[in-house]
Structure formats: structure tokens, C-alpha cells
Amino acid sequence: MATRLLTPAPLGWALICLALTPLWSATARAEQAGHEHGPGTGYGQPGSASDVARTIEVTALDSVRHEPSNLTVKTGETVAFVVRNAGQMRHEFMLGDAKEQHQHAQTMQAHPDMVHEEPNAVTVDPGQSKMLLWRFGTPGLVEGACHLPGHYEAGMVTRIQVTE
Ligand SMILES: [Cu+2]
């Protein structure tokens, strides 16, 4: 019985492998392309304290707003963001382009209690202040967003225009 089941397997696996090879390559290429836009490229990379050109205070409010709501920075500029939570509930400030925000929104939907302490994201409890150093990359729109349930959708985002 076992022998009968196993006999056709090598041919079967060979066919499956042949069929899957192009699919696998496409997936690998897509993942590589994705990494080019992850933290560290594209919209910027973690900054160093010695390069800080400007310190910007961002205030997180329970009215689900980040203040200021709009900023302009230059390509290559390193900014120190001091994110202060002036509210009574937890907020976060996560820097990313549209694609990164979308991915993070999905992660937070699955794990709403997730706490971040990453080069591009901080979770800030009420009364706390946290700093992020970021060196902005290519021109375009970067968002500093809070993805606690419903906050980003309600407009809790600082829109950061990166100019040449
Ligand atoms: Cu929030």
C-alpha cells in the first residue's frame, strides 16, 4: 500500500516543482523589491544624533490628531522628532510611505496591543515623550501615523512632504 502510494511521487513532485519554479522566482523578486521600500531605503533611514539639523516636537492628542498635521523637510535632512503624548490614551508615531503604512495598519489590526520601539516607530504612553531620529530620503510624501484602532482612519497623521 505504502509502496503504491510512493511510486508515482517522484514524477509528481518533479512536475509540481517545474510548475512552481516561475511562481517562486516571481515571489522572490517581489520580496526583494519590497525590501527596497522598507525602513532604511526609499523614504529614508534611521538618523544619527550628530546629523540632526532640526528638532520637531509632535504632540499626540486624544482628539486623534498629531500636531503639527503638516510638515516640510528636505531630502537628506535628519530630523529629531520628539513625540509627546498629551492625552490619556496610548498613541504611536510611525514614519513610513503609503506602502509601509498599509502594512503596519494590517499588523496593528491583527495585534492592536503591539508596542513599538523601532527606528521608524514609537509607542508613546500618556505623559511620555519619545524621540525618533530619521534621515529623509527621496522626495515624496511620508506619513507619521498612529495605528491604534481607528486613529489613522480618523486622521491621526502628520503629513510630511519631502522636497529636493
Ligand atoms: Cu493614536
Q: Are 136 and 99 in contact (CB under 8 A)?
A: no
Mean pLDDT of the chain: 82
Query: Rounded to two decimals, what is the model's pTM?
Result: 0.74
Q: Which residues surround ligand 1, an ion (CB under 5 A)?
A: 91, 146, 148, 151, 156
Residue with grid cell 509607542, as numbered in its chain = 123
Nearest residue to 146 via CA among 79, 81, 90:
90
- Domain spanning 44-163, CATH architecture: Sandwich (2.60)
Distance 72 CA to ligand 1 centre (A): 22
**Distance of CA 89 to CAs 60, 107, 120, 128, Å?**
10, 20, 21, 11
Residue spans per domain, the chain: 2-35, 44-163
Per-residue pLDDT of 66-87, as tens digits, reads 999 999 999 999 999 999 999 9
Position 40 confidence tier, pLDDT thresholds 50, 70, 90: low
Per-residue pLDDT of 95-138, as tens digits, reads 999 999 999 999 999 998 989 889 999 999 999 999 999 999 99
